């Protein structure tokens, strides 16, 4: 099935590239979203079954692929609006749409890959796709961001490959290296602890570029600063999740050994450093997209800190990941409207948004309340569970440190939000150039509402998938 | 014989830090590709024929011919002759890369592991660290690409050190992936030159808030 899906995705993207016509772009994009949804349903129906020798429909993959399917629906709509407003050239539009399909397919491939090298190859494809998507406007700042992202990601991926090779060396049998996650997990207990540690650190360092955490976060932040909103809605959510999957798979291997508490310490260290860096950097930001990028860094840090708690924190970490995906996607859709309204992404160029575009401003407020985990946001529940786990484990100093940094982050984000909503109109604002669509905020209200609902009434399908994912670690 | 090739490989690594001419970097990468071909051939002569052909293709065709050829084109398109802007004098870099080699040698010989072949591991580790150091001391993005390729060569040597044979399809995917990445990086480098009239990283600073 998965190969069929890859085939369909490839044909659709080729169709778009070869015939750059709007009707073909729209039809192929819709067909792709349907195919993606079908893949999610099929994988859920065939949970825990293998699909070819390299892919498996496990609970984590199904959960994250489902979230991506859900996001792709509004992404298709907002991408159409973005292209109409800012590109308006069928050839460039076709390139954008075709690469978006390839990016989403590569991300799904990362989720479902059961082989650590197939996962690596898929991650490398996402790097190439993101670089082209950032640069598709051909201006100088996107070029700078593309170059940095491409180079630093390739560097990170090369480092991760070193880790994979070291892991492979420890799992070599008479028939050669078996690099499936299940085999590596079963062989983990026999691996040399020194090499296992080395592999884990190298893979975490390498994939930190996708996960948007310390040490290789800089290029990702720059990429998000210039990427178009629909692309950001994918790379700040589904692609971050792909990085999480890659790290989670390696953690599931190391978790079979006595080194699991050591790995949790590494998660804690990475999480705390990343959170501290995000807190400091947020004071310096002058653009909304950069604010959201550092906010993503903050949430991934929290997820790593939750993982560091062990069994008590796994549920909270996965719930937080799911909620972050939906809320951050919605916020980027909303930012697309702010950009179209003020014709700028700089905070200083915005103001009086509440007065000018009330419904969209309301969507922005709800989004900000959701992302800062202020009740009734669903994220309040997941963050509450993270702190509950930290206190239950007796990590009081960590919990208080994290709480302090979160308070600072909330203050900075709310301050910037207030500027957008209530500050005086900037001198360069031109009402004649305003682009607004009253239907655009609908997707954001739906996504933020969904997170609130899921936070307080999580359906069995969500909790079962999360619990099944936790079982993958045991 | 293998040990001679590995020592020659380590010598090319040192030579990267002695040179400031861009053409030399391209030649050195090509020589590293040929040396890797020799090492792989001697090491994997008894393995499956498909795997062997693929690895030879990767080293001789891709690493020794295609990539250096592509870099040579990039060098001419961007009129690059000499890299002046290394942040650390050659003499100190030479001392540092020698220290890296000695430290990697000491680390490797303190590793007690049956699977890893230490003669490859020492130079592979030094190559990866050397590649990173090469990137750090240069401001020019062409040199960054060269540093990235040094790391790639170190990774390839490490794959021989760990002695793991990956499935044919997986190896093919890795090979294509790396090749495409290098080509795309090169294309972007050309765009940077066209847009900024320079390929120094100091020009790439518009994104900071």
Percent of chain A predicted with pLDDT > 90: 83
Q: What pairs with residue A173 in β-bridges?
A: A176
Q: Which of B111, B153, B166, B199 to mutate to test the interface with A (most CBs of A within 10 A)?
A: B166
Residues of B in contact with A284 (CB under 8 A): 209
Q: What is the pLDDT of residues B67-109, one digit of tens each?
A: 999 999 888 888 887 766 667 888 898 999 999 999 988 888 8
What is the spatial distance between Cα A331 and Cα A276, in angstroms, rounded to a whole number? 23
pLDDT band at A249 (very low <50, low <70, confident <90, very high): very high
What is the spatial distance between Cα A419 and Cα A415, in angstroms, rounded to a whole number? 6
Does the global pTM surpass 0.90? Answer: yes
**Confidence (pLDDT) at B54:** 79
> How many Cβ atoms are within 10 Å of B52's Cβ, its own excluded?
16
Secondary structure (3-state) at A319: helix
Nearest chain A CA: its distance from B206 CA (Å): 6
Cα-Cα-Cα-Cα torsion B50, B55, B61, B65, nearest 10 degrees, comes to 180
Phi, psi of A318, rounded to the nearest 5 degrees: -70, -35
- A288: which DSSP letter? H
Q: What is the pLDDT of residues A276-326, one digit of tens each?
A: 999 999 999 999 999 999 999 999 999 999 999 999 999 999 999 999 999
Percent of chain A predicted with pLDDT > 70: 99
Q: Is the pLDDT of residue A137 over 80?
A: no
Mean pLDDT of chain A: 93
pLDDT band at A173 (very low <50, low <70, confident <90, very high): low
Residues of B in contact with A164 (CB under 8 A): none
**Confidence (pLDDT) at A418:** 95
Domain count, chain A: 1
Instruction: Assess if residue A190 is contained within a domain.
Output: no
Residue A286 forms contact with B (CB below 8 Å): yes
pLDDT band at A432 (very low <50, low <70, confident <90, very high): confident
Residues of A in contact with B162 (CB under 8 A): 165-166, 168-169, 172
How many CA atoms within 13 Å lie on the side-chain side of A222? 26
Q: Is the pLDDT of residue B207 over 80?
A: no
What is the spatial distance between Cα A150 and Cα A241, in angstroms, rounded to a whole number? 19
Q: What is the pLDDT of residues B98-112, one digit of tens each?
A: 999 999 888 888 776
Residue A192 forms contact with B (CB below 8 Å): yes
Residues of B in contact with A192 (CB under 8 A): 113
Q: Is the pLDDT of residue A383 over 80?
A: yes
What is the spatial distance between Cα A372 and Cα A380, in angstroms, rounded to a whole number? 8
Instruction: Assess if residue A201 is contained within a domain.
Output: no
Helix axes B141-161 and A140-169, enclosed angle (nearest 10): 10
Contacts of B37 (CB under 8 A, 6+ apart): B56, B59, B60, B63, B64
Residue B125 · residue B108 · CB < 8 Å: yes
Sign of the alpha-carbon torsion through B189, B191, B192, B193 = positive
Instruction: Assess if residue A230 is contained within a domain.
Output: no
A residues 202..261 contacting B (CB < 8 A): 222, 225-226
Contact B181 A154 (CB under 8 A): yes
**Confidence (pLDDT) at A326:** 97
**What ipTM is given for this predicted complex?**
0.84
Q: What pairs with residue A287 in β-bridges?
A: A346
Nearest chain A CA: its distance from B4 CA (Å): 24
Instruction: Assess if residue A222 is contained within a domain.
Output: no
Nearest CB to A131 within list B128, B177, B188: B188
**Confidence (pLDDT) at A363:** 96
pLDDT band at A175 (very low <50, low <70, confident <90, very high): low
Burial zone of A177 (CB within 10 Å; 0-12 exposed, 13-18 middle, 19+ buried)? buried
Residue range of the domain that includes A462: 269-474
Of A274-278, A356-360, B142-146, B163-167, minimum mean pLDDT range = B163-167
Residues of B in contact with A118 (CB under 8 A): 170, 173
Instruction: Assess if residue A297 is contained within a domain.
Output: yes
Residue A374 forms contact with B (CB below 8 Å): no
Nearest chain B CA: its distance from A48 CA (Å): 23
Contact B165 A177 (CB under 8 A): yes
Instruction: Assess if residue A2 is contained within a domain.
Output: no
Q: What is the pLDDT of residues A78-122, one digit of tens each?
A: 999 999 998 989 999 999 999 999 999 999 999 999 999 899 989
Instruction: Assess if residue A124 is contained within a domain.
Output: no
From residue A302, how far is each of A295, A307, A395, A447, A449 by CA, in Å?
11, 9, 14, 21, 22
**E strands within A49-139?**
50-51, 55-56
Q: Is the pLDDT of residue B129 over 60?
A: yes
Contact A176 B167 (CB under 8 A): yes
Instruction: Assess if residue A9 is contained within a domain.
Output: no
What is the spatial distance between Cα B111 and Cα B103, in angstroms, rounded to a whole number? 13
DSSP collapsed to 3 states, chain B = CHHHHHHHHHHHHHHHHHCCEHHHHHHHHHHHHHHHHHHHHHHHCCCCHHHHHHHHHHHHHHHHHHHHHHHHHHHHHCCCCECCCCCCCHHHHHHHHHHHHHHHHHHHHCCCCCCCCHHHHHHHHHHHHHHHHHHHHCCEHHHHHHHHHHHHHHHHHHHHHCCCCCCHHHHHHHHHHHHHHHHHHHHHHHHHHHHHCCCEHHHCCCCCC
Nearest CB to B155 within list A147, A161, A290: A161
């Amino acid at each position: 099935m998965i190969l069929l899906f890859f085939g369909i995705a490839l044909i659709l993207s080729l169709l778009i590239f070869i015939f750059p016509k709007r009707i073909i772009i729209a039809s192929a994009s819709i067909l792709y979203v349907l195919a993606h949804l079908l893949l999610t349903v099929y994988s859920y129906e065939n949970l825990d079954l293998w699909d070819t020798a390299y892919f498996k429909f496990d609970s984590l993959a199904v959960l994250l692929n489902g979230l991506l399917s859900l996001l792709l629906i509004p992404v298709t709509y907002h991408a159409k609006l973005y292209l109409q407003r800012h590109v308006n050239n069928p050839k460039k539009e076709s390139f954008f749409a075709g690469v978006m399909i390839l990016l989403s397919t590569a991300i799904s491939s990362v989720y479902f890959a059961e082989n650590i090298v197939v996962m690596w190859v898929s991650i490398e494809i996402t790097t190439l796709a993101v670089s082209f998507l950032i640069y598709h406007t051909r201006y100088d700042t996107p070029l700078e961001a593309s170059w940095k992202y491409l180079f630093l990601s390739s560097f990170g991926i090369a480092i991760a490959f070193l880790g994979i090779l070291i892991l492979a060396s420890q799992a070599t049998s008479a028939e050669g290296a078996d690099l499936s996650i299940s085999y590596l997990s079963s062989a983990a207990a026999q691996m040399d602890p020194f090499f296992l540690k080395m592999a884990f650190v190298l893979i975490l360092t390498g994939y930190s570029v996708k996960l948007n955490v310390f040490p290789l976060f800089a290029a990702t932040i720059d990429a998000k600063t210039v990427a178009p909103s629909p692309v950001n809605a994918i790379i700040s959510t589904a692609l971050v999740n792909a990085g999480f999957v890659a790290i989670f798979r390696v953690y599931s291997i190391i978790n079979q050994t006595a080194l699991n508490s050591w790995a949790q310490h590494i998660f804690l260290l990475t999480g705390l450093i990343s959170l501290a860096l995000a807190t400091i950097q947020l004071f310096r930001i002058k653009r909304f997209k950069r604010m959201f990028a550092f906010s993503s860094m903050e949430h991934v840090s929290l997820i790593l800190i939750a993982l560091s708690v062990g069994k008590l924190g796994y549920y909270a970490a996965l719930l937080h990941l799911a909620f972050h995906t939906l809320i951050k996607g919605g916020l980027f859709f909303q930012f697309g409207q702010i950009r179209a309204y003020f014709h700028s992404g700089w905070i200083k160029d915005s103001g009086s948004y509440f007065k000018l575009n009330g419904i969209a401003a309301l969507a922005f407020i709800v989004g900000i309340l959701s992302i800062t985990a202020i009740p009734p946001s669903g994220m309040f529940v997941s963050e509450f569970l993270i702190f509950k786990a930290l206190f239950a484990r007796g990590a009081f100093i960590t919990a208080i440190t994290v709480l302090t940094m979160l308070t600072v982050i909330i203050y900075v984000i709310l301050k910037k939000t207030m500027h957008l909503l209530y500050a005086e109109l900037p001198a360069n604002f031109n009402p004649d150039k305003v682009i607004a669509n009253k239907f655009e905020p609908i997707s954001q209200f739906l996504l933020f509402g969904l997170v609130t609902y899921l936070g307080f009434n999580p359906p069995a399908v969500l909790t079962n998938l999360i619990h099944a994912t936790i079982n993958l670690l045991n | 014989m293998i040990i001679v090739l590995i020592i020659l490989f380590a010598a090319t690594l040192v030579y990267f830090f002695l040179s400031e001419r861009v053409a030399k970097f391209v030649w050195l990468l090509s020589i590293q590709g040929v040396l890797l071909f020799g090492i792989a051939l001697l090491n994997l002569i008894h393995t499956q024929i498909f795997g062997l052909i693929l690895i030879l293709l990767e080293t001789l065709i891709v690493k020794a011919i295609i990539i250096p050829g592509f870099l040579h084109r990039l060098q001419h398109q961007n009129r690059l002759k000499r890299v002046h802007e290394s942040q650390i004098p050659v003499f100190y870099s030479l001392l540092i890369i020698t220290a890296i080699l000695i430290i990697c040698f000491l680390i490797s010989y303190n590793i007690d592991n049956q699977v890893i072949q230490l003669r490859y591991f020492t130079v592979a580790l030094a190559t990866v660290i050397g590649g990173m150091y090469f990137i750090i001391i240069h401001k020019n993005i062409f040199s960054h690409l060269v540093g990235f390729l040094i790391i790639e060569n170190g990774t390839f040597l490490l794959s021989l050190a760990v002695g793991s044979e990956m499935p044919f399809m997986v190896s093919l995917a890795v090979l294509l992936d790396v090749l495409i990445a290098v080509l795309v990086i090169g294309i972007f480098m050309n765009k940077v030159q066209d847009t900024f009239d320079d390929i120094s990283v100091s020009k790439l600073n518009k994104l900071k808030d």
